Amino acid sequence: MPIDWVLPVAFKFLMNPASFFVILILLAMHSRTVYIRICQTLAGLLLLFLAVSTFIPQIAEFPAGQYPGPANRLIGLLQLDRFYNSPVDIVLWGLLVAAMIGAVIFNVVRTPVQKILHLLLALCFVLVALEKGSNRRFGMTLSEGQEIVFSDYSGTVSPKHNVRLKLLRFEIQRHADESTPKAFISHLLINGQDTVLLAVNKPFAIDRYRLYQSAYDQKYIFAINIDDSLHMLSFGDSLALSDGTFVLENFDHQKRQFRLRFGQEYYSISMQKPLRIGSHEITVTPGGARYDSIIDVAEVRWTKPLLLASLLFIVFLGGAFWYRKRLD
């Protein structure tokens, strides 16, 4: 039977609410050992898929169906390129929750403490699934000197999200050998008043969103002198003039010349050698490097309830061990 047919049918069955009751009944018919094996298998599969999907660009970052070789088919079937929002992820978390609740309902675990621990663990699983599957994630890119409004990216209208972010400077700290980076730091100006440092392990919070330093992009910039007016541009940047738009296209390494576009016409210009285009005199000189900060944003609506449920689970688990040790 082809796997292309089996997997979709299996997922449809497992996504059906009635399937959970079937699983609960099966749990009631088997021993504690079988129950433990089921939980171990489900947890192992979930951890495996989560680990593998971490190394696969998600669908928002990489076009679907573009992975090379036979791996493309497997990635598509298991939905590893969009795992956090996939039926596979929901099914595995749902089965774990069903296993926990089934153990309580059908007395696979018998003591009150064990039942409380299983219910708390089921609650933690639900909150983890909600945290991973329902919270929004998106990215932002800021150039040095650029200012944005956070609500334009989050798509929300809350006054709490109407925050202006300006990248004052991007800093790369290096180890003593000066060859390997030690830290990437974005110096952000918040609402034109406060300066914060955004680093890899130092996120910044805007209401329920967390901003994380993800990566950076380095661009070479050039000083473009147009009629004694200086402009700093990188490849692909444009500049609107009174009689047309000027674009710095690229650099021809063989000819050692820059390729420019003014209006619909293309021109070539050498470094530091003036070129007259129409009524404009243009000169290109080196300008240094400009950094773009790449920032990942994650919504964390369910973090506090998850921490509370986890704390309750740890407290009950610690109390159970203490009570058992006292009895012994």
Model confidence at 23, pLDDT cuts 50, 70, 90, reads: low
> pTM higher than 0.85, yes or no?
no
Model confidence at 62, pLDDT cuts 50, 70, 90, reads: very low
pLDDT at 30: 53
pLDDT at 259: 92
Statement: residue 78 has pLDDT above 50:
yes
- Alpha carbon 311 to chain centroid, angstroms: 26
C-alpha distances in Å from residue 317, one per residue of 42, 43, 119, 127, 322: 22, 19, 12, 19, 9
pLDDT at 133: 74
Model confidence at 107, pLDDT cuts 50, 70, 90, reads: confident
pLDDT at 188: 96
pLDDT at 270: 92
Statement: residue 284 has pLDDT above 50:
yes
Of 80 and 25, more confident = 80
pLDDT tens sequence across 194-211: 999 999 889 999 999 999
Model confidence at 165, pLDDT cuts 50, 70, 90, reads: very high
Of 197 and 38, more confident = 197
- Whole-number mean pLDDT of the chain? 81
β-partners of residue 252 are 257
pLDDT at 58: 59
Model confidence at 18, pLDDT cuts 50, 70, 90, reads: very low
Least confident residue range of 50-54, 180-184, 206-210: 50-54
pLDDT tens sequence across 211-233: 999 888 888 889 999 998 998 88
